[in-house]
Amino acid sequence: MEDQAVCCYRHPQRETGISCTRCERPICPECMISASVGFQCPECVSGRASAGSGASAAGPPPRASQPRTLAGGTMASDPRLITKILVAVNIAVWLAALSVGDRLVNDLDLVGRAYDPGTVQVVGVAEGQWWRLVTSVFLHQQLMHIAFNMLSLWWIGGPLEAALGRVRFIVLYMLSGLGGSALSYLLAAQNQPSLGASGAIFGLLGATAVLMRRLNYDMRPVIALLALNLLFTFTWSGIAWQAHVGGLVAGTVVAYGMVHAPREKRALVQRGTCVLVLLAIVAMVWIRTVQLTG
């Protein structure tokens, strides 16, 4: 059966990807209240859910089809699970880098092609070390750097994960991070190292703007946040603007394909959009590798 659009039971004009973990009625971000697991609606929190609401002590009401998120994903009981895992992985890698020292950072950061005095070798993505495009997305050194990125991931990631579903959210995050790595590799100096989840975070910011526009929410807060972050990107020293821009573009394109795909061709459009973004990433990496090794 074709998936049906899910709208907030208190604001029928708003499509949403979030449901109350108690009564399973769909709720928009304005109505959701954080609970020990997931989110609950105002009526369940106040204990005044009416019998006519469709929820009862015997369990949730029967449904003609399983509720889906706005992007077609399955609604999960813990809408922040992937966000929690990503935060944990980033913190674990940061702690490992602190304990091991510069050697781990030098092995995992993003560098195009450079001489490493520690190994007395030429290292980098151009030398076949493709993993640096991924590992650098999870690598941090400074406390303020990881603190800012993880707070941003926690704040932005949860609502996005709830709206897109787990699989689509992790695909969005990884393609945004890879998009940032690829543009840095393509445009930055070959011996300029870079690291951090900022490219992926910018991708989530772009996706948030796309989602809010799709739901007809007030765009001014997210536009102001994007403008402020871009201002910092191009005015502060020591910031790899290429990663921020690459992640922003990749995340925006992927999110647009996910939330605007027509239901009858949803899987095809979403997969096709992700494949096109991945091909663009591969093309940038290939072009830069040829430049550095040709």
The structure tokens listed for 263 are 């239901």
Cβ(225)–Cβ(205) below 8 Å: yes
136 is catalytic: no
Q: Is 71 inside a domain boundary?
A: no
Whether residues 34 and 92 share a domain: the answer is: no
| Residues 17, 127 share a domain | no
Q: Is the confidence at residue 24, as pLDDT, over 90?
A: no
Q: Could you tell me if 17 and 85 lie in one domain?
A: no
> Which CATH number goes with the domain that contains 156?
1.20.1540.10
Here the tokens at position 104 are 């781990």
Contacts from 237-243 at CB under 8 Å and sequence distance 24+?
239/198, 240/184, 240/188, 240/192, 240/194, 240/196, 240/198, 242/180, 242/183, 242/184, 242/186, 242/187, 242/188, 242/194, 243/180, 243/181, 243/183, 243/184, 243/194, 243/196, 243/198, 243/199, 243/202
On whether both 87 and 48 belong to a single domain, the answer is no
Domain-terminating residue out of 11, 36, 52: 52
120's torsion region: left (phi>0), alpha (psi -120 to 50) or beta?
left
Query: Does the pLDDT of residue 96 top 50, yes or no?
Result: yes
Residue with token string 């697991």: 37
Strand partners, 34: 39
Phi-psi domain of 115 (left: phi exceeds 0; alpha: psi -120 through 50; beta: other): beta
pLDDT for 37 equals: 57
pLDDT at 116: 83
Would residue 243 count as lying in a domain? yes
Residues 163 and 275 in one domain: yes
- Domain of residue 12: give its range: 1-52
Mean pLDDT (the chain) is 85
- Residues 113, 163: one domain? yes
pLDDT of residue 284: 97
Nearest-angstrom CA–CA distance, 213 and 216: 5
198 is catalytic: yes
Question: Are 164 and 45 in the same domain?
Answer: no
Say whether both 22 and 124 belong to one domain.
no
Contact 119, 162 (CB under 8 A): no
- Are 106 and 234 in a shared domain? yes
Q: Binning pLDDT at 50, 70 and 90, where does residue 127 land?
A: very high
* Residue 88, SS3 per DSSP: helix
Query: Region 239-251: what's the mean pLDDT?
Result: 94
Predicted confidence at residue 291, as pLDDT, reads 94
Band (63; pLDDT cuts 50, 70, 90): very low
The model scores a pTM over 0.85: no
Q: With 60 as the cut, is the pLDDT of residue 104 above it? A: yes
Q: Is residue 160 part of a domain?
A: yes
From the candidates 152, 237, 244, 260, give the one annotated as an active-site residue: 244
Confidence (pLDDT) at 58:
40
Residue 140 in domain: yes
User: What average pLDDT does this structure show over 102-112?
Assistant: 91
Q: Which member of 19, 198, 237, 260 is catalytic?
A: 198
Query: What DSSP designation does 116 have?
Result: E
Domain finish residue from 9, 32, 52: 52
Residue 100 has pLDDT above 70, yes or no: yes
- Per the domain annotation, does 70 fall within a domain? no
Residue linked to tokens 């494949």: 275
Q: Is 73 part of a structural domain of the chain?
A: no
Question: Quick check: is 69 in a domain?
Answer: no
Does 225 share its domain with 267?
Answer: yes
59 within some domain:
no
pLDDT of 121 above 60: yes
Query: Tokens 């946040």 belong to which residue?
Result: 225
Same domain flag for 189 and 151 = yes
Answer whether 229's CB lies under 8 Å from 205's CB: yes
Quick one: pLDDT at residue 38?
63
Judge residue 262's burial from the number of C-beta atoms within 10 Å of its C-beta, 0-12 exposed, 13-18 middle, 19 or more buried: exposed
Same domain, 128 and 246: yes
Number of domains observed in the structure of the chain: 2
